[in-house]
Amino acid sequence: MLEKLCRSDMSTRMESSVVVLTERTEGEVTFSVPGVAVEVLGGARGGRWPRRIMRIREWVRQIRPHVLQGWMYHGNLAAWYARHASPEPTALAWNVRHSLHDLRREKMRTRYVIRANRVLSRHPEAIVYNSRKARLQHEEFGFSSVRGHVIPNGFELNASGPDTERGIQVRRTLGIPDAAIVIGHAARFHPMKDHYRFLRIASRIVQENRNVHIVLMGRDVTERNNELYSAVADGAVSRFHWLGERTDVFDVMQAMDGLCLTSAWGEAFPNVLGEAMSVGVPCVTTDVGDSAFVVGDCGFVVPPRDDVALYNALRDVIGMSDEERRAVGRRARERVRSKFGLDVVAGQYVQLYERLAAGATGGWD
């Protein structure tokens, strides 16, 4: 999302510089935007924080920013320190992109960082959350409620709309008939994503409908994952397609007739819903985080961990005619354009930053 913001029209209104706190791991997408300076502090291993702190100090004294925007919990702490090291008045904003369903589910170090965020949360002039649910959870946990803002994730829409031909090509590559109904599931392998429930329900649907195929994407979601693979009923295995982690998510979504999000907890603003809706794919989602708000009346929302409701919603999608699914997809795409389009979201950030920059020298309310 940060990279998309830097690529947006926001770049014509203000100059941006990005500080990456740790080294990029192998295979991670490199942050690279023309015209945006990127400072990589490095040293993810071995605890190089003293060196990183000195480099943050050097960076802020060289750049002299009007606004410091922390991005996620660790970035918020770094931005707080950078503001104190700045030689000039500088506005501070934080960005929380995580739900806080249960602190006990977080890693030990992350718990300490979240608690530190809570203690220091009265210092930033703005705390941006990417979902209403995340804001509510954090403020109930003790984050300052005075400066809270909600700015959702933004999505880039292809002006030409869904690419039917690309969808057919993907289907043929996967060995899926052109006339089949394809239901997708895109999520990393993690208990919160509730893969087993989806596989159990999807197996039943595939056995009842010979023209239905299931496409699964996500880190560790492959045939080699015996825990997942064994959850599929024997009679349905041939119509499950395991793609693992993909970089061409939008291309694969072009081949779908519906997408399902089955998370049991932990979501804030699920990007996968906005991505699917932006290419005209109807969605079935559990009511976690801001999922119901994202989908609106352009999809199906069911309670988490409810087998019957999930089965019925997927049956409703499968039972639609092609034209009915396209109509829902068009409404979903328009909802993304009007509420979550990247230009809309970037505009909200610009307004916030301009106000904060003005306050840095003129004083805040």
* Domain definitions of the chain by residue range: 2-154+342-362, 164-339
Lowest mean pLDDT segment, chosen from 18-32, 279-293, 335-349: 18-32
pLDDT of residue 46: 46
CA angle 355, 361, 365 (to 5 degrees): 55
Q: Cα–Cα distance between 291 and 118 in angstroms, integer?
A: 25
In this predicted structure, the answer to whether residue 27 has a pLDDT above a threshold of 70 is: no
Q: For 135-190, give the secondary structure using H, E and C.
A: HHHHHHHCCCCCCEEECCCCECCCCCCCCHHHHHHHHHHHCCCCCCEEEEEECCCC
Least confident residue range of 202-211, 317-326, 353-362: 353-362
Q: What is the mean pLDDT of residues 41-49?
A: 59
pLDDT of residue 149: 96
Q: Which residue has the higher pLDDT, 25 or 55?
A: 55
Q: Which amino acid does the sequence have at 336? A: V
Q: What per-residue confidence (pLDDT) applies to 47?
A: 54
Contact between residue 146 and residue 153 where contact means Cβ atoms under 8 Å apart: no
Calculate helix-pair angle for 72-85, 49-63, nearest 10 degrees: 60
With beta carbons less than 8 A apart as the criterion, state whether 125 and 93 touch. Answer: yes
Closest CA to 120 of 173, 156, 79: 79
Average pLDDT, the chain: 92
The residue with greater pLDDT, 347 or 21, is: 347
Domains 2-154+342-362 and 164-339 share a fold: yes
pLDDT at 138 over 50: yes
Tell me how far apart the alpha carbons of residues 142 and 117 are, in angstroms, rounded to a whole number. 10
Task: Quote the crossing angle between the two packed helices 322-340 and 342-362, to the nearest 10°.
Answer: 10
**365: confidence class by pLDDT, cuts 50, 70, 90:** very low
pLDDT at 359: 86
What is the DSSP annotation of 58-114? HHHHHH--SEEE--HHHHHHHHHHHHHH-SS--EEEEEE-S--S-GGGS-HHHHHHH
Is the per-residue pLDDT at 124 higher than 60? yes
> 75 in helix, strand or coil?
helix
Higher pLDDT, 55 or 22: 55
Tell me how long the chain is.
Answer: 365
pTM of the model: 0.87
Where does the pLDDT of residue 22 fall: very low under 50, low under 70, confident under 90, or very high at 90 and above?
confident
pLDDT bin (cut points 50, 70, 90) of residue 362 is low
Superfamily the domain 164-339 falls into: Glycogen Phosphorylase B; (3.40.50.2000)
Say whether 128 sits in a helix, a strand or coil: strand
The CATH code belonging to domain 2-154+342-362 is: 3.40.50.2000
Measured from the Cβ of residue 320, the count of other Cβ atoms closer than 10 Å reads: 16
Q: Taking a C-beta distance cutoff of 8 angstroms, is the pair 259, 284 a contact?
A: yes
Which pair of tokens denotes residue 232?
């599929």
Distance (Å, whole) CA 189 – CA 123: 36
